[in-house]
Amino acid sequence: MLRVSPVPGNPTPPAAPWLALQDNGLARSRQRASDTRRQHDASLPRIWHCLACDWQITSEQERVAIAGDSVYRRVNPAGIAFEFSCFGAAPGCRTVGCETGEHTWFAGYHWRVALCGHCLTHLGWRFRSTDDRFFGLIVQRLRFAAPDALH
Ligand SMILES: [Zn+2]
DSSP label of 11: P
- Determine the distance separating the centroid of ligand 1 and the alpha carbon of 79, expressed in angstroms: 25
- Determine the distance separating the centroid of ligand 1 and the alpha carbon of 34, expressed in angstroms: 32
Q: Which helix (H) or strand (E) holds 134?
A: strand 133-138
What residues pair up with 47 in beta bridges, in sequence order? 59, 145
SS3 label, residue 140: helix
The residue type found at 148 is D
Q: Which helix (H) or strand (E) holds 111?
A: strand 110-116
Q: pLDDT digit of tens for each residue in the chain (151 aa)?
A: 445 444 454 444 444 444 433 433 333 333 443 344 445 445 556 899 999 999 999 999 999 999 999 999 999 999 999 999 999 999 999 999 999 999 999 999 999 999 999 999 999 999 999 999 999 999 999 998 876 544 4
- Determine the distance separating the centroid of ligand 1 and the alpha carbon of 41, expressed in angstroms: 26
The per-residue pLDDT for 146 is 72
- Determine the distance separating the centroid of ligand 1 and the alpha carbon of 71, expressed in angstroms: 21
Main-chain dihedrals φ then ψ at residue 128, nearest 5 degrees: -140, 130
- Residue 71 to residue 142: CA distance in whole angstroms: 14
The per-residue pLDDT for 145 is 84
Domain ranges of the chain: 45-149
- Determine the distance separating the centroid of ligand 1 and the alpha carbon of 49, expressed in angstroms: 8
SS3 label, residue 60: helix
8 A C-beta contact, residue 55 and residue 137: no
CATH number of the domain located at residue range(s) 45-149 in this protein: 2.170.150.20
Task: Count the helix, strand and coil residues of the chain and give each as a percent rounded to the nearest 5.
Answer: 15, 40, 50
The per-residue pLDDT for 14 is 46
The per-residue pLDDT for 92 is 98
